Amino acid sequence: MSVDSMLRATRPQPAHEQSRHECYRFVAKDFQKVLEHERLRSDRSQLPFSLILMRFANRESLQPDSVAVHVIMHRIRVTDEAGIVSDDRLGIIAPYTRRGDAQILAKDLVSLMPATMRPTSTEIHEYVPAQSDRPNKSRREEPISSGEELID
């Protein structure tokens, strides 16, 4: 589901009815917001995510109707996000994905692209949240009796 769909009050369409290019409608500022949101979600869930950054010499490769973008949008999962990071870089956020699996995805994407549209470089970053020392107040060890106050 795209960010636009999540922000709208209407009921989202099933994934098979959505255009895969909806997920791609980011500019650099919006992609940074999505990346920050994923980092916060990762911190809460204590699960990692990976960021794949692809630099392209041919800026036509970053156009929404390009073959490179078509390959990316049809290969990534519905839970992954892709967008423009800068004038010549595209980013893919892969939630719940370790570096090794992101490397497999990146190699697969590059191999599926025509030689003239392939990225000149690919970087993979893994975000692993620090283990929290804070007790989780949302989970209670003892059963809740009827009438017990839930707010501390």
What is the rounded CA–CA span in Å between residue 96 and residue 128? 10
Residue 93 is classified by DSSP as E
Kindly indicate the confidence band of residue 28, based on its pLDDT and cuts at 50, 70 and 90: low
Residue 146 is classified by DSSP as T
The pLDDT tens digits for 76-109 are: 998 899 988 888 999 999 999 999 999 999 999 9
Query: Taking Cα atoms as reference points, which of 102, 119, 97 lies closest to residue 110?
Result: 119
CB-CB contact of 71 with 114 (8 Å): no
CB-CB contact of 95 with 42 (8 Å): yes
